[in-house]
Amino acid sequence: MSGKVALVTGAARGQGRSHCVRLAQEGADIIALDVCRNIDTVPYALGTEADLAETVALVEESGGRILARHADVRDREGLTAVVDEGVALFGALDIVSANAGVMSPAKTLELTSEMWQDLLDVNLVGVYNTCAAAIPHLIAGKGGSIVLTSSCSGLRGTPNLAHYSAAKHGVVGLMRTLAIELAPEFIRVNTIHTTVVPTGMGLSDAVLELFRPDLPRPTVEDARAGFAQQNLIPVPWVELDDVSNALLFLASDESRYITGVALPVDAGSMEK
């Protein structure tokens, strides 16, 4: 990654922070952004300004340079301004991690219009906005790698997550179309599909209740067995480093002829 510049959305914590740090450890400069505020229809706290500041500190401890800004992936104009600022500072853009995403579990007929729209606006429209802001810079640099964060719910239906599954399936369709359109520009586009990951979203109360609906306020320990049952390999989740290492591979020249691929990092979950 030495000499490369990477854009990461949803960078304040969780997978986004992990991706920033892992890429920086390998020598990349980072353009990091996060909304740093809550969304009313999302039933857990999102990243904060303090969280984003911690991401900055961890990247700098790894020896990397980072530009961190508050930006909402639903705001194409504001997002583009941050990307343009980062490219002006670092001189290029080579890697895109469209990672920002939210979850708001509910039975399909109990989803409100606001829940549906907010989730699709972040998880699908936000991914498109990220690509739209970044692709002109990748073309100018004569190539690059785009990695879109999907989910196992982007490859199969998931009860109580109709809007989430619809959005994550949409991300796969966007990836496959962009892979075709951008191949002549030597820009590769792939998706990553995880099982549970131990993040603020993955271990939120709303997710724990999905796996232990029989308990009024289940803990992580209560849900651990339920998590493990969905995976072939008997683990409750995949770690942040496992996902970031997969992203690092797809971002690197070691995968230079891999494009249009939906890559599960799922402990075999898709085979159950």
Catalytic residues: 164
Spatial distance between the Cα atoms of 189 and 147, rounded to a whole number of angstroms: 6
Half-sphere exposure of 190 (CA within 13 A, CB side): 23
- Burial (0-12, 13-18, 19+ Cβ within 10 Å), 47: buried
Contacts for 202 with CB less than 8 Å, ≥ 6 apart: 14, 196, 237
Q: Which amino acid is at 118?
A: D
Packed helices 113-120 and 162-182: angle between N→C axes, nearest 10 degrees: 30
Please report the DSSP string for 152-219 in residue order. Answer: GGGTS--TT-HHHHHHHHHHHHHHHHHHHHHGGGTEEEEEEEES--SSTTTTSHHHHHHH-TTSSS--
Q: For the chain, how are helix, strand and coil distributed in percent, rounded to 5?
A: 50, 15, 35
Cβ atoms of 82 and 136 within 8 Å: the answer is no
Strands 144-149 and 95-98: parallel
Residue 156 tokens read as: 């199969």
